[in-house]
């Protein structure tokens, strides 16, 4: 008996340990670091009109994610780490699906939720880490500040991509705070289709084929469903009448609705849709209304009575 209790206790402890470890490994990986600008001379301005370094966070999921309670950590030298706690209670920390949040690394946290209490180092590489509310590391990046010139950012090639690159402000590598890292101005598939079908004949044939195929499928489906429903109604009618012979049921037309019924239903629906019920455009009907006598409406009570002289 004691061995069984010990076995049960050890099994429960093992299961609880697994659950705890799974819970600790679970992390909010919806939010990632997306773009960082260290030397801001004439780039994007904050809400105070000041050019400051900034850190962009991207929500790569298709659901909202909240930054409240998360941590932004900065380290420029080994053993030197500064932590910024993102305050709770600000509705702007809720990042919508596939949207961005911009934090100003100006060292002035008193200016608002999106102003950190640390500054980025322009002379050394900056390690930036994003932690969720459970103090789990969500994402990290090392920004090579020495390789970045003024108004150049270190960003992912596209939102949520694994590879990073330096945005130097050129036509294909421009700095994009609070917006997509890469804007697609063309559709490669559309351009390829236009090259192969310049006159649009293939497009017309494809569109007509899709339409007619859809109509054919609808016809087949309605045909099959109609036959099934007719067979079911015949079978139910045979059960109700107690008939087992199919030929006898066909002779008596069990389960079949006469055409007059459908005609009457169609006529009733037509009249209902066109509002032709009880139309009397040229008939004037006068009906005399009889009211019951009530002493409250009697005229004798409206006359003034002559006062009696004594």
pLDDT in tens, 78-96: 778 999 999 999 999 999 9
The answer to whether residues 142 and 120 touch, using CB atoms and an 8 Å cutoff, is no
CA distance 58 to 70: 14
How far lies 301's CA from each of 232, 295, 297, in Å?
75, 8, 8
CA distance 24 to 17: 11
Radius of gyration of the chain, Cα coordinates, nearest whole angstrom: 40
The answer to whether residues 35 and 8 touch, using CB atoms and an 8 Å cutoff, is no
| pLDDT above 60 for 277 | no
pLDDT in tens, 93-146: 999 999 999 999 999 999 999 999 999 999 999 999 999 998 999 999 999 988
Q: Which residues pair with 81 in a beta bridge?
A: 75
**In this structure, how many other beta carbons lie within 10 angstroms of the beta carbon of residue 82?**
14
Exposure of 132 by Cβ count < 10 A (0-12 exposed, 13-18 middle, 19+ buried)? buried
Between these two residues, 43 and 22, which has the higher pLDDT value?
43
CA distance 55 to 178: 10
Angle of helix 201-241 relative to helix 188-196, nearest 10 degrees, comes to: 100
Q: What is the 3-state secondary structure (H, E, C) of 55-96?
A: EEEEECCCCCEECCCCEEEEEEECCEEEEEECCCCCHHHEEC
Residue 195 has what pLDDT? 76
Backbone region of residue 140 per phi and psi (left: phi > 0; alpha: psi in -120 to 50; beta: other values): beta
pTM > 0.95: no
The answer to whether residues 94 and 107 touch, using CB atoms and an 8 Å cutoff, is no
What's the full length of the chain, in residues? 310
Could you tell me the pLDDT band of residue 77, with boundaries at 50, 70 and 90? Answer: confident
Could you tell me the pLDDT band of residue 56, with boundaries at 50, 70 and 90? Answer: very high
CA distance 136 to 246: 73
Helix intervals (H) in 181-310: 188-196, 201-241, 246-251, 259-274
Structural domains of the chain ordered from first start: 25-188 (2.60.40.1260), 234-274 (no CATH)
């Amino acid at each position: 008996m004691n061995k069984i209790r010990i076995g049960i206790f050890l099994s429960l402890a093992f299961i609880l340990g697994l659950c705890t470890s799974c819970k600790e490994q679970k992390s909010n990986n919806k939010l990632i670091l997306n773009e960082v600008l260290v030397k801001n001379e004439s780039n994007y301005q904050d809400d105070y009109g000041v050019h400051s370094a900034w850190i962009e966070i991207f929500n790569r999921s298709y659901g909202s994610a909240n930054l409240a309670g998360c941590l932004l950590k900065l380290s420029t030298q080994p053993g030197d780490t500064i932590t910024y706690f993102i305050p709770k209670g600000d509705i702007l920390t809720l990042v919508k699906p596939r949207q961005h949040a911009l934090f100003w690394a100006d060292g002035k946290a008193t200016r608002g939720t999106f102003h950190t209490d640390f500054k980025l180092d322009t002379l050394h590489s900056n390690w930036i880490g994003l932690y969720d509310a459970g103090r789990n590391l969500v994402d990290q990046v090392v920004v090579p500040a020495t390789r970045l010139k003024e108004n150049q950012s270190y960003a992912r090639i596209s939102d949520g991509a694994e590879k990073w690159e330096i945005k130097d402000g050129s036509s294909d590598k421009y700095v994009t705070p609070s917006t997509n890292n890469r804007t697609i101005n063309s559709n490669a598939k559309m351009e390829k289709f236009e090259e192969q079908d310049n006159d649009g004949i293939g497009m017309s044939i494809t569109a007509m084929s899709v339409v007619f195929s859809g109509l054919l499928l609808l016809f087949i489906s309605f045909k099959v469903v109609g036959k099934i429903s007719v067979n079911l109604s015949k079978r139910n009618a045979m059960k109700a009448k107690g008939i087992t012979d199919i030929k006898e049921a066909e002779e008596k037309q069990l389960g079949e609705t006469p055409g007059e019924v459908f005609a009457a239903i169609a006529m009733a629906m037509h009249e209902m849709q066109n509002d032709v019920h009880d139309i009397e455009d040229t008939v004037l009907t006068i009906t005399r209304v009889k009211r019951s006598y009530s002493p409250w409406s009697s005229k004798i009570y409206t006359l003034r009575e002559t006062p009696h002289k004594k």
